[in-house]
Structure 1
Amino acid sequence: MSDLSFLLLIALVSIGIGFALGSLVTGARGERGEIEKDKTSAAANLIQVAGIMTDRSGKTVYLQVEGKAIRSVLELNRQQRSRLQPFIETIASWFGVSGGRKPSMSPAGKAAETPEQVGALQLEATESASVEALRPSMNPVNVLARAIRSDVSLPPPAKSIVVQIDEILQEKLKGTPLENRGIRLMELPSKGMVVMVGLNQYEGVDQVPDDDVKGVIRAAVSEWENSISQ
């Protein structure tokens, strides 16, 4: 084979390799572009309903709703609570809020217990399960789920959140010019939490026109939040 033929062969092979590499690069870029396009299209169809935030210490949980940082369900009106409830239930299911605990299995090689031992173990397990069921979780998702949902499957506390905050509120009102204004926090079956100022009824703290009344209610909410975070 002459030198000229050899050089032509090398040139043809080089052109073929270059064409193949170019096709691979173009295909890879096309696939990457399609993936990025799909991601952008999916993100464009998403909307933010709410966001969960916390302070730097991680002790106080905030729910960002409509551009506002909410520290308590009392700051949500009825429409907001109804709109957020299905999303909170979905998030709670991700973390297994309502999931039950499976009983532990006995070791295979363990000797059989006597009836007295079995009875003692069953009593101990029952007492332990009762204590765990009554102990509220401080996980932020659990706290939000308990606050927003009115039909939580967990055993209800002796006093509702609204009742607990109202008790703190009444203590703060004593001896102040607001004491005789008839300010109370109540739970109504058809409306949820409402603020009563005399005969006037408001669906949320923000709807109360008196700044002094709003201030004392928010102070009661803050004191309640501090009490459960200790």
Structure 2
Amino acid sequence: MEFDWSRVIPIIAGLIALIVGWAIGFFDSKMRADKKIRQAEERSELAIQQAKGEAERAALATQAARAAAEAKPTLPGTTLLRLWLDSSERPALDLDGQHVETNPISETDRKRLLALLTVMRPWIEGRSTAPAPSPTPSSAPAPAMPRPVVPSAPVPVPTPRPLTAAAKDEKPATAINIVAQIDEILQARLARSPLANHAVRITESPEGGVIVWVGLQKFMGASEVTDPEVKAIIQAAISEWEKKYTPGL
């Protein structure tokens, strides 16, 4: 009996084709996997290089900023007022080392700015020293705890007379200092108030501050006045002065 190769050959050929196809697929899959691995490694290496570059640039920027800060000269003392221009050449304001929003400025910052301007006023007016305060009466020494004293007899309050045209030419309004302006407003308010018989006046201290006289009692500032009615009318005079002479602040 002869072996029939015609039946076996197709089977062998099919097996060979299957093995060859599997081998081709295996190698193709392996090549694709290797290619993907290489691409992933390249991307990872690129990301690492970029991260290193950014870290180096950040370190250089930090060093440059530190060097600039160390090279910047520091001013002695404490900065109370700073007027400067930002990157857009717009004026900006710092008070006590803190930036202040000026559009609009808050009431607290406005009062602080006025206080600093009061300190600088003698320089602006060209005075080397502030005017001497009114002398303290020797007949009545100030007690340890000052209290407002109502005079036994009414003390006339001088009513300011209107200036003539010649007088206005001799002394312009700009020569009147702030304390005198506030005192003028205060006297006008006192004249038409129940406190008309109280001798209340405001003078200027050598440091450019405010001294309040209530009768023979001396107070270093309106906040130290103990009589609430007197304190209220002084505060009203100050508010009227601010509205009249500094409406935009």
After TM superposition, the score normalised by the length of structure 2 is: 0.44
Larger Rg: 2
After TM superposition, the score normalised by the length of structure 1 is: 0.47
Q: 1 or 2, which has the higher helix percentage? A: 1
